[in-house]
Chain A
């Protein structure tokens, strides 16, 4: 019998935003209307490109992009993806939410805005010049990171730039009983220039931690604290 559960859910214990996996989602608001393209990388390998049209009349107030879909192996396993990556449309100010449903680790996206400029040499023709606007390896003010730790134990959530950190204790079950994630309120954190607004939090596996980024060029890492017995 094939595995019933999504086996990728239980692979990762740690994650870094400069090359992430399915433990986190990154939400980046796209404010300015225009054409964008996003290049998706797995570690240093270019996986593919998506196109995003940010326009006032778009009905989409949020775009979720599953970066696992850019893996050729994923295409092989999922027939519906063989049609290729679709273009996306988003209302200005809406978040672009990057996530992964499968095992991939080391994912990042570089988003570029395509500017059309008149070319003086060829009258009437427009030249498209990409301008980098977002790199998921360098989180920006107003970005959000949504973290769902899976494994139990003690972890550190660190901001690499400011050396700020939060101790995260992921509880083992009370008498063998864990709770469905929908029954657990998320934990809200804020990363500002002064650091995190909490020094420690205690959660259950799969409980959501929502981290508001209020600094620029931020990188987060979530790593396990190994005890001497481990």
Chain B
């Protein structure tokens, strides 16, 4: 029996962590629903991660992710509002010896739903930071049953075990579990494809969240201009056909409605905070992203995994691979490196 130590420096470990977190970008765009005053909100959002040196290993044995930039693409927020019926109310006066009222004049005769999509795809970025501890565990698939090491190594995993595991993780996670079951099943299917390999036992390393936070990076002028134009888009939807010469008159008829919409869309000067509130509080997006990163790194996509027994020589010339058992594994993180220590034995 021999003692082996493997060290991975911070730069290499950065690639491992980014690779695991990048599973987020493999999740198909998600739908979120919420509300803002009289508006219904519908959000279609997908994620892209910007590569960079995001990992800092600490002397406390933790992994810190610093300012991982997540670009929301697509990001389409649809403001929906039900308007109507709206009428010019009757005017009543004492004439002809008693009260007479003018008939109501219908301005918007029936309730109409107006959807106003705002496309901010690729224009909004958030910054994610978090601190994690490292754990290791052995994944043994039930499908392996009594299969020997060499056969398990050679057998592709075609089972649903990993997908079922991922689905159960998602279903038990705060915020994520609020997504529709069909969406969770779809996500589990997409992520399982990234993790599946063969039926051999795997030594896996996961990062467990200690603290994390996410916020929007200051949004650009383009986004501000688009957001400031929401009310105009709503009005365009209502008055699209009205000749410009009559448009101001038509606006006056809908003054109470427009005032109510304008009150809700009276955007503050700090639009980054407003959008963060909209995506975070009204739509629950930011908490869901936090939940995803936590579960991806903590239980779904290992930052690193290897087979145990480990194939030190692969089958390359018709011979069976050479597998060596890994025992007494320990993983330590220090300021500079991720260090694995183990004893190896013939398998």
Contact = CB atoms under 8 A, between A and B. Distances in A.
Contacts of A106: none
Interface string B231-249: 0000001111111001011
Interface string A151-184: 1100000000000000000000100111111100
Interface string B79-113: 00001100011010101111111110111110010
Contacts of A177: 248, 252
Most buried by A among B83, B99, B100, B255: B100
Given A4-B108, A142-B96, A62 B237 contact: no
A93 B96 contact: yes
From A7, A93, A146, A150, name the one whose CB has the most chain B CB atoms within 10 angstroms.
A146
A94 interface: yes
Given A5-B108, A93-B96, A176-B248, A206 B253 contact: yes
A95 B93 contact: no
A25 B103 contact: yes
Q: Please classify the interface of chain A as helix (H, G, I), strand (E, B), loop, or mixed, using the class held by over half of its residues.
A: loop
B241 A181 contact: no
Interface string A128-162: 00000000000000101010101110000000000
Interface in B305-328: none
B240 to A, nearest CB: 7
A5 B96 contact: no
Interface residues of B, number: 38
B248 A208 contact: no
A5 B100 contact: no
A123 B136 CA distance: 110
Interface string A90-117: 0001110101010000000000000000
Given A6-B107, A6-B109, A62-B100, A186 B93 contact: yes
Given A66-B103, A97-B103, A5 B252 contact: no
A111 B103 CA distance: 20
A178 B251 CA distance: 8
Contacts, number: 103
A154 B102 CA distance: 24
A178 to B, nearest CB: 3
Contact of A27 (B100, B107, B112, B249): B100
Contact of A178 (B89, B91, B252): B252
B220 interface: no
B95 A206 contact: no
Nearest to A95: B100
B103 A64 contact: yes
A146 B91 CA distance: 10
Contacts of B96: 27, 29, 93, 95, 142, 144
A203 interface: no
A180 B238 contact: no
A212 interface: yes
B105 A9 contact: yes
Interface in B233-283: 237-243, 246, 248-253, 255-256
Nearest to B108: A4
28 contacts: A1-B114, A4-B237, A5-B239, A6-B109, A9-B105, A10-B242, A22-B105, A27-B95, A29-B96, A62-B101, A64-B103, A66-B103, A95-B96, A95-B100, A150-B246, A177-B252, A178-B251, A179-B252, A180-B253, A180-B255, A180-B256, A181-B252, A181-B253, A186-B91, A186-B93, A206-B249, A206-B253, A212-B95
Given A1-B114, A22-B105, A206-B252, 17 more contacts: A5-B108, A7-B241, A10-B242, A95-B96, A97-B102, A144-B96, A144-B100, A148-B105, A150-B249, A152-B249, A173-B248, A178-B249, A179-B252, A180-B253, A205-B249, A206-B249, A210-B95
